[in-house]
Chains A and B, each alone.
Chain A
């Protein structure tokens, strides 16, 4: 299931944040962090809040630069402490779905979904069709002309997800994307995500603080320590796909894995 080639290598990664003027000391959000992500793997990462998970994704997405170590993508170093200017998204190789949906409030839903294609100069009848197809896959047809503030949190989240899928980046980074939603909407979105992932398997790095979510979605789960974050342990998820997130709690292997991870997080 996840025995593809190594796609992403994180090696000795560290990010130090300088203190504000004469207050406190410099702190490492992550330090000595090393792990691999394989092609088409769904990797989930859990850790206590404030354990540098978002910092890690920002470093991979290249909207922030590491202080130590490096990140390699398909064997090529893409981010290193010594590297020059940042290249956010590394030429559309990384899609990023953040905690807040970051839809542009002045654009309608469809214009938000088409935004990456428009700025990449790839708007065509074909890509537009793909966008509307994705919209209806997650039940957003009929809401194309609405502005984000007119829609529910769940719908905005779906739109943000579709906006990332529409330009087909090989890797998608997700930072607690369903954190702010109610339980029912969250389950629905998790099911949507698994369905979309099954259609065209991408590599996903999914950060969450919810152990059940990490198990339900992932092929493999990394448990992070408190800041500075390092990999505390690694868990292969012994649950076959396709999975149904609604009934996953009763499936063999769920309870044991859950218990193991919960103990480590304490």
Chain B
């Protein structure tokens, strides 16, 4: 698809969404569904008086902090377990159980443990990011072509060199798939943490707005959240394109379809 046409079609889709939104607001009334223009105006007000940035930065800090605390070990552990297949076999059912456990149910516990500040939200985000990134990275590590590993070993590469020069580059697309999936979950978890108990963050803004029957603020906060996720996703995709620029150009759309699923 050519860039110009894609852009035009996307603008058309945006218009359609705005029309549906406006019609829904007219049918249900602005107290239930805040119409686009009112939402935009509130968004502008909150952006100008700095409230939006204050709340968004808090949410972003919780998500980013948790992402680092959970995601880095999640990406490193598969490489360590590659060298210890027995340990990997022992840990496997526990990791699967950990992955399956609904993390949001842990939120009250984390608040008990870490208080109502940033730490409890970071813990919630970390518990989600760890498992998502661990399992996608592990799939990439497992999927490394054994013939490439054998070649590298025969050519004199140490285990560390194999991990760095063969396994890591093979796993990169999987790491990014995990990153992209966990990105929206991470923001979501931070917001849920704020909904439960907080005095800052976009989740708090939504909660406060709803308590006041101020759906316009809720909608503005939701818009901010969506923009935040879209922006972060674009950053991750830019990093991915840079790291994967060796790939054949025609393989890109297929990959995007797969990782978006």
Contacts and interface: CB of A to CB of B under 8 A. Distances in A.
B165 A96 contact: no
A149 B156 contact: no
A210 interface: no
Interface string B234-249: 0000000000101110
A69 interface: no
B155 A149 contact: no
Nearest to B152: A119
A255 B166 CA distance: 46
B248 A94 contact: no
A119 B148 CA distance: 14
B156 A89 contact: yes
A83 interface: no
A104 B165 contact: yes
Nearest to B166: A104
Interface residues of A, number: 29
A95 interface: yes
B158 interface: yes
B151 A96 contact: yes
A149 B145 CA distance: 16
A100 B148 CA distance: 10
A150 B155 CA distance: 24
A119 B157 contact: yes
Contact of B248 (A104, A118, A149): A149
A163 B158 CA distance: 17
B169 A88 contact: no
- Chain A interface helix/strand/loop/mixed: loop
Nearest to B157: A119
A61 interface: yes
A74 interface: no
A98 interface: yes
Interface in B131-181: 145, 147-148, 150-158, 161, 165-166, 169
Which bracket fits the contact residues of B?
A: 20 to 34
A88 B154 contact: yes
A120 B156 contact: yes
B156 A167 contact: yes
Given A115-B165, A149-B248, A104 B156 contact: no
Nearest to B147: A102
A102 B165 contact: no
A116 B156 contact: yes
Given A102-B147, A104-B169, A63 B156 contact: no
B246 A89 contact: no
Contacts of B147: 98, 100, 102
Contacts of B151: 96, 98, 102
Interface in B220-261: 244, 246-248
A61 B154 contact: yes
A63 B246 contact: no
Nearest to A163: B155
B164 to A, nearest CB: 9
B246 A105 contact: yes
B155 A147 contact: no
A117 B158 CA distance: 12
Contact of B158 (A116, A119, A149, A150): A119
A119 B246 contact: no
Contacts of A104: 148, 165-166, 169
A61 to B, nearest CB: 5
B246 A107 contact: yes
A119 B154 contact: no
Contacts of B169: 104, 106
A89 B154 contact: yes
Contacts of A92: 155-156
Nearest to B160: A119
Interface-central residue, A94, A95, A106, by most chain B CB under 10 Å: A106
Nearest to B248: A149
B51 to A, nearest CB: 45
Given A104-B148, A104-B169, A115 B155 contact: yes
Nearest to B251: A149
A91 B188 CA distance: 52
A92 B169 CA distance: 24
A119 B165 contact: yes
Contacts of A149: 248
B153 A63 contact: yes
10 closest Cβ pairs, A-B complex: A88-B153, A116-B155, A89-B154, A119-B157, A102-B151, A119-B161, A120-B156, A106-B246, A63-B150, A106-B169
Given A96-B154, A119-B152, A167-B156, 15 more contacts: A63-B150, A88-B153, A95-B155, A96-B150, A102-B150, A104-B165, A104-B169, A108-B246, A115-B152, A115-B155, A116-B156, A118-B165, A120-B157, A147-B246, A147-B248
6 contacts: A62-B154, A104-B166, A104-B169, A105-B246, A119-B156, A119-B161
